[in-house]
Every structure is written in C-alpha cells, then in structure tokens.
Amino acid sequence: MCLAIPGKIISIIERPDETFRLGKVSFGGIIKEVNLCMVPEAKIDDYVLVHVGVAISIVDEEEAKITFDYLKQMNEIEEIKNN
C-alpha cells in the first residue's frame, strides 16, 4: 500500500478547480491518470513520485545524481584529509 513509484508526466489536464489538476503519467510505458494538485510546479516531462493516485513530490535531478557520486566524493574527501 505504501508503495510510491516515479513516473514521467506526459500530459496535464488543467481544470478550473485546483484540486482537480490531473495529468497522465507514464510508469515505464504504463499510463495512468494522476492527481497533480500537490505538485503545482510540475511540468510535462518532469518525473514525479506517485502514491495511490496522487503525485507527492517532483524528483530533484541534482540530488539524484549525488547518490551515484556519493562514494566517489567520500573517497576524495578522505584523500584530502590524508594529504
């Protein structure tokens, strides 16, 4: 139930009421309608984290990259310390 998965916004349907901001989100090719009212700044092509039909966060691409470089950075810091 608590699963939340990232998907890419492929279209946005604006409605007059802000609680009805909907979009189509692709999860690796599977398209679902998702409520976007909690991520008002989300645009087409953004990746959002979706939980039970509601997008709850937009991915921060810079932060995502940091995980992959984390160990490298740590090693560099160690090297600086050791020198």
Partner 1 sequence: MKYLSEYRDQKLAEEFIKEIHRITTKPWTLMEICGGQTHSLVKNGILEMLPEKISMVHGPGCPVCVTSLSIIDEAIYLAQQPNVIFCSFGDMLRVPGSTKNLLELKAEGADVRILYSPLEAVTIAKENLEKEIIFFAVGFETTAPANALSVIHADKLKINNYSILASHVLVPPAMEAILSDDENKIDAFLAAGHVCTIMGMEEYFPVAKKYKTPIVVTGFEPVDLLQGILMAVQQLEKGEYKVENQYARYVQREGNKIAKETINKVFDVSDRIWRGIGSIPHSGYEVNDRYKKFNARLKFKINLPVAEENKECISGDIMKGLKKPKQCKNFGTKCKPEHPLGAPMVSSEGSCAAYYHYSNAENVLA
- Contacts with partner 1, residue ranges (CB under 8 A): 1-6, 8, 17, 19-20, 27-28, 35, 37-40, 47, 49, 51-54, 56-57, 59-61, 63-64, 66-68, 70-71, 74
Block residue for tokens 């691409």 = 61
Half-sphere exposure of 21 (CA within 13 A, CB side): 14
Nearer to partner 1, 8 or 24 (CB): 8
Task: Name residue 60's beta-bridge partners.
Answer: none
What is the residue-wise DSSP string for 27-45? Answer: ETTEEEEEE-TT-TT--TT
Nearer to partner 1, 13 or 56 (CB): 56
Q: Which amino acid is present at 4?
A: A
Nearer to partner 1, 3 or 80 (CB): 3
Minimum distance of partner 1 from residue 83's CB (angstroms): 19
